[in-house]
Chains A and B, each alone.
Chain A
Amino acid sequence: MDNVIVYAVISLSAIGVTSAIVLYFVAQKFKVIEDPRIDVVEGTLPGANCGGCGFAGCRAFAEGIVKAGKLDDFNCPVGGNSTMAAIAKALGLEAEEKDPMIAVLRCNGNCDYAPKKLNYDGPATCAFAHNLYSGESGCPYGCLGLGDCVVSCKFDALYIDEKTGLPVVDEDKCVACGACVKACPRGIFELRLKGKKSRRIFVSCINQEKGAVAKKNCEVACIGCSKCFKVCAFDAITMENNLAYIDDEKCKLCRKCAPECPTNAIHELNFPPRKPKAEETAEVPKEPVTADSKA
């Protein structure tokens, strides 16, 4: 009986030792030599693998940036400035401070302003509905409300508001990775500067139809009247294809354009409420219920 135990112990030990030696040599022979800085850089990254940088994942980003040797075309929107600074330190370079961005929904065609003219009966995906028809409100540029953007967001920063039927961007969670921009078949999302104190102004409409046509489908559409364009002192507004567009880098947040808009298509986020002018008896255009307002 003892012999059995002795033999078992000897043979198993022999197998173990042999395997260890073989594995050691194999590991040495097939070792992949990598720049050790890649691991360091990867350590500074958030590890979300969201693709916001344009690479396949955080490891791929780290490899790319170490290979390139400079920071110029690389940006991790999730980690932001702190991460880029850490990477710069690891590589011995200087990092530029970039202004934080955020995803902005440029449509306010909710159920009240853009009433339903049709019933949609099909799979709950914007990609399919977009190919099928112009949308329940009739506006061919407007949000379909079926949530492809919500599904694409890996940071839980989007949800569809039940009352308005439009997606809402959670300002604290959004890292501007750009997934929603790609997911939306109509290109309604845009990455814009978050702005000082998180304040930003934008035209909440991308409809390029003539004003009368656009207004028929949605009360708060941009009708391309150019009133905002005329009052902007900083050349930030451009008019193209019956649509106004505010350049976020030129906009100085002076708030002159918003009250000019006859359809309330220009949204101002996170500003203090306007003081009503005492002399005017006419009603100042009220801040419309927007998808992003904190009301």
Chain B
Amino acid sequence: MNNLLTISGSPHVHTDESIKKIMFSVVYAMVPAMLVSVYFFGLDAVRVIGISVIACVLVEYLIQKYLIKGDVTINDGSAIVTGVLLAFNVPANLPTWIIVVGAIISIGVAKMAFGGIGKNPFNPALVGRVFLLISFPAQMTSWPLPKPLFAQTVTDTITGATPLGLLKEGQMAGKTIEQIMADPNMPDYIQRMIGFQTGSLGEMSALALFLGALFMFFRKVITWQIPISYLLSSFIFAGIFWMIDPTHYADPFFHLITGGLMLGIFYMATDMVSSPMTPKGQIVFGIGCGLLTMIIRLWGAYPEGVSFAILIMNAFAPLINKVFKPTKFGL
């Protein structure tokens, strides 16, 4: 025998799971939503997703190689995930340079400045998105109407309001729900489910997002605690107020399939690094996200509350970890 024996502590076997496998599972899960966005926005979608991913990976590479001068870990796929998620959170007509700025903030500030993967307290894609929303409000809220890929007429990009935007505008103007829903620009339920609505790239089709979520669940990349608690708490909260006053509050199904809620529930809130570590804590986190999302949607100035709600709950995650501990054996 010519090899030296290896000595290490037990255990001596290891699962196949790795960071790379987890990240790429998330990427595959987002493929249905990516396809839907390409169908509705054509080459614009390809541009936004492509630029976002390339920019994120490049920023991570440059920072790791030349600034930190440490190991380069771009092949673990986490920058790609951030890139796709950032792309999902912006409108399809966002100028390229703004996307690059978003990538620099997401990766450079929200991830690398804290120490790289695993050390960021906030979801990087959301930090990028909120930064862009606050810095470039006009470009970030002009939503192009979808022009299906094989449509006959290729017109100039016409912009319109998202369903949530219509809702908020209508409420500010004092209209009732019925009047808002009757607006010809408001798509109906089926249309919203499948994706015939306006919104950012990833918000289009609740169905596609749900399929991806199922994939992640079976691959054990996400667990049920955060999605279910987030979903139920937002649904129930919206439902309570809708039952109290249906003329001024939209029904919970409306809230569920419009805006970034589906994206937030399954892809953003479940980000492992910024969410709590304990099962009980994760349920509390989900409930908090749900409540905050709805509070901002119902009474806040912004039409969409998902990004802010998740970021606020990210800030609470360390406290949640400390308070909500798992049940120990024998205690």
Residue positions of A touching B, CB distance < 8 A:
116-122, 128, 132-133, 136
Contacts and interface: CB of A to CB of B under 8 A. Distances in A.
B7 interface: yes
Nearest to B5: A118
Contacts of B4: 116-119
B8 interface: yes
B9 interface: yes
Interface in B7-42: 7-9
Contacts of A119: 4-7
Contacts of A136: 7
Interface of B: 4-9
Contacts of B5: 118-119
B7 A118 contact: yes
Contacts of B6: 118-121
A139 to B, nearest CB: 14
Contacts of B8: 120-122, 132
B236 to A, nearest CB: 47
Nearest to B3: A119
A136 B7 CA distance: 9
A143 B6 CA distance: 18
B180 to A, nearest CB: 46
B7 A128 contact: no
Nearest to A120: B7
- Top 9 nearest A-B pairs (CB, nearest first) are A121-B8, A119-B6, A122-B8, A119-B4, A118-B7, A121-B6, A133-B7, A118-B5, A120-B7
Contacts of B9: 122, 128, 132
25 contacts: A116-B4, A117-B4, A118-B4, A118-B5, A118-B6, A118-B7, A119-B4, A119-B5, A119-B6, A119-B7, A120-B6, A120-B7, A120-B8, A121-B6, A121-B7, A121-B8, A122-B7, A122-B8, A122-B9, A128-B9, A132-B7, A132-B8, A132-B9, A133-B7, A136-B7
A281 to B, nearest CB: 41
Contacts of A120: 6-8
Given A119-B4, A132-B7, 16 more contacts: A117-B4, A118-B4, A118-B5, A118-B7, A119-B5, A119-B6, A119-B7, A120-B7, A121-B6, A121-B7, A121-B8, A122-B7, A122-B8, A122-B9, A132-B9, A133-B7
A116 B5 CA distance: 10
A136 B8 CA distance: 11
A122 B9 CA distance: 7
Contacts of A132: 7-9
A294 B9 CA distance: 38
A117 B6 CA distance: 9
A133 B7 CA distance: 8
A116 B4 CA distance: 8
A110 B93 CA distance: 64
A128 B7 CA distance: 12
A162 to B, nearest CB: 19
Nearest to A116: B4
B28 to A, nearest CB: 32
A120 B7 CA distance: 5
B9 to A, nearest CB: 6
Contacts of A122: 7-9
A125 to B, nearest CB: 12
A136 B9 CA distance: 14
Contacts of A121: 6-8
A121 B9 CA distance: 8
Contacts of A116: 4
A112 to B, nearest CB: 16
